Chains A and B, each alone.
Chain A
Amino acid sequence: MTTTAHTDTAALALGDDALVLSHRLGEWMGHAPVLEEEVALANIALDLLGQARILLSMAGDEDDLAYLREERAFRNLQLVEQPNGDFAHTIARQLYFSTYQHLLYDRLATGGGPFAGLAAKAVKEVAYHRDHAEQWTLRLGDGTDLSHERMRRACEALWRFTGEMFQPVEGVGIDLTGLETPWLESVAAVLGRAGLETPGGPRAGAWRAGAGRQGLHTESFGRMLAEMQHLHRSHPGASW
């Protein structure tokens, strides 16, 4: 095993996270609750897609990797492939992921490893994503009774997918388990300010923690890929 192979593994894991979440956010376009959120969600989706393109290009051809791998070859977290659900689900997913990604890129940016350059640029984008998710968590959690209840349900439903973020990834160059405590503290603080309890319940298990990183995904993911890849696969070898 060479250092390059390790780097590829990590680039795919981080790149797939960004690619898949970007795709999910893209599904919101034309459906957002307010025009400003059409702009904001598209903005976040675009940032993530930009990160995905750089990361996938480190591991090979971005389009071959995005469009020609099958479900079992994707290395993204199960969290990011979760369907959008209602706006609260989208925000809870974003809060959990952006908090993690911000901590991760912040460390990577100062680590001097192969991802330092990308992380240094992306950490600014991710800080915005995190702030956006936090602000909406506060508005929904501490808004109306209905929004509180929806935000509570969303946070609980997605909690089970948060353990996998801290599983080790070969080649990433930092200790991911070390991010878990600051992540928990930050998320609990935001939820607390929003008047929400930090969910309990398991965050790890055979089909959860680390499963996405090993290519074990949830059922909706295959359908998402079918839609994403259909046109590209229908014209083998064509350029666009």
Chain B
Amino acid sequence: MATAAAHRTARTQRYGGREATAGEQDAYQRAFDAAVAADERIEPRDWMPEAYRATLVRQIAQHAHSEIIGMQPEANWITRAPSLRRKAILMAKVQDEAGHGLYLYSAAETLGTGREELLDKLHTGRQKYSSIFNYPTLTWADVGAIGWLVDGAAITNQVPLCRCSYGPYARAMVRVCKEESFHQRQGYELLLALSRGTPEQHAMAQDAVDRWWWPSLMMFGPPDDESAHSAQSMAWKIKRHSNDELRQRFVDICVPQAQSLGLTLPDPDLKWNEERGHHDFGPIDWTEFKEVLKGNGPCNEQRITQRTRAHEEGAWVREAAAAHAAKHSGDSHENRESRETGAKQA
């Protein structure tokens, strides 16, 4: 946890190795508020309120956890993908998700925490991941529905985060969003192939959309009047739009896409509202949402068990790598570096 230690040192140095006086605290707070108001980026070594730091750690960690838990429902279909082209696309996508997890853990580490610590919190249920990944992938079409709807919802949420006030998170989001948009198009294209395929394939696509639509709308979080962190996060410019605003934007994007897919969305109340200039849609089952968040969704147990098992069964491998590195710490840095560069792919 070198990162955490370095960060604490940086913070202490700012106070000249002692507790900041109330006057100094106020000055720092005013400088921080001014930076946020001016749309400047907060960087790791800058002073920030402890609550801002804690909120970001929670949000970035939850985001990282979602990427790695989110590998499971899709990896579930890698060995059964129906064509080699689709298999390659799916493998590349799941690989990207592991990569996103890595960027995000790195972003979280700039706030003075460590990946091991965060993983431990995930494994013991002290930190959450997106509720959507507690739903099962029952058919091949689910892979397409996840791409189109789940990645679509994620992008709607994440694009504004590219302008988030915390620099490392905003920069991670730029990279993540580029790849996510690509995945989303691939998911759409997968569903389109099914929708235009045999009657059985079309039915498979419709069934998947029917099962994933409502859980995707839940990805935007509770309604604005019940969202505990929203107001503060918006004031800090971590968040730029409310849950309900983003959810509405997503529905408005999806309706015409569903039409061009030749698929319907499972909501009898869904219709265009001329006056609002938006689609009205039916009520979300918040009881289900809360149950899933509490751990009572269809796959909560399975997802955490698999993640924990992979971690525990891999302990001897990580220990071996650490022991090997310790034995060979005398190897010249140059040698190690040239090996690593040589190992990288073109």
Chain A interfacial positions (CB closer than 8 Å to B)? 19, 23, 26-27, 29-39, 42-43, 45-46, 49-50, 52-53, 56, 62-63, 66-67, 86-87, 124-125, 128, 131-132, 135, 138-140, 142-144, 146-147, 150, 227-228, 230-232, 235, 237-240
Contact = CB atoms under 8 A, between A and B. Distances in A.
B323 interface: yes
A5 to B, nearest CB: 23
B306 A50 contact: no
A139 B324 contact: yes
Contacts of A42: 91-92, 94-95, 98
Contact of A38 (B71, B85, B88, B105): B71
A31 B79 CA distance: 14
B343 A240 contact: no
Given A33-B317, A43-B95, A240-B193, 8 more contacts: A19-B84, A26-B78, A38-B95, A46-B91, A147-B323, A232-B83, A239-B193, A240-B194
Interface stretch (B3-11, B153-161, B269-277, B308-316): B308-316
Given A43-B95, A228-B79, A142 B197 contact: no
B87 interface: yes
B21 interface: no
Contact of A45 (B68, B91, B194, B306): B91
A96 to B, nearest CB: 19
Interface of B: 68, 71-72, 75, 78-88, 91-92, 94-95, 98-99, 101-102, 105, 115, 140, 190, 193-194, 197-198, 200-201, 306, 309-311, 313-321, 323-325, 327, 339, 342-346
B75 A30 contact: yes
A144 B319 contact: yes
- Judged by DSSP, the binding face of A is helix
Contacts of B115: 35
A66 B115 CA distance: 40
A86 B314 CA distance: 9
- Judged by DSSP, the binding face of B is helix
Nearest to A91: B317
B75 A131 contact: no
A231 B82 contact: yes
A66 B101 CA distance: 32
A140 B319 CA distance: 9
A131 B343 contact: yes
A39 B105 CA distance: 15
B324 A143 contact: yes
A125 B344 CA distance: 9
Given A30-B94, A31-B310, A231 B318 contact: no
B323 A238 contact: no
B342 A49 contact: no
Given A39-B99, A125-B345, A238 B197 contact: yes
A36 to B, nearest CB: 7
Contacts of A237: 198
B291 to A, nearest CB: 24
Given A26-B87, A143-B319, A144-B323, A35 B306 contact: no
Contacts of B92: 42, 46
13 contacts: A29-B91, A33-B315, A42-B94, A43-B345, A50-B88, A56-B84, A87-B314, A124-B345, A131-B339, A147-B317, A238-B198, A239-B193, A239-B197
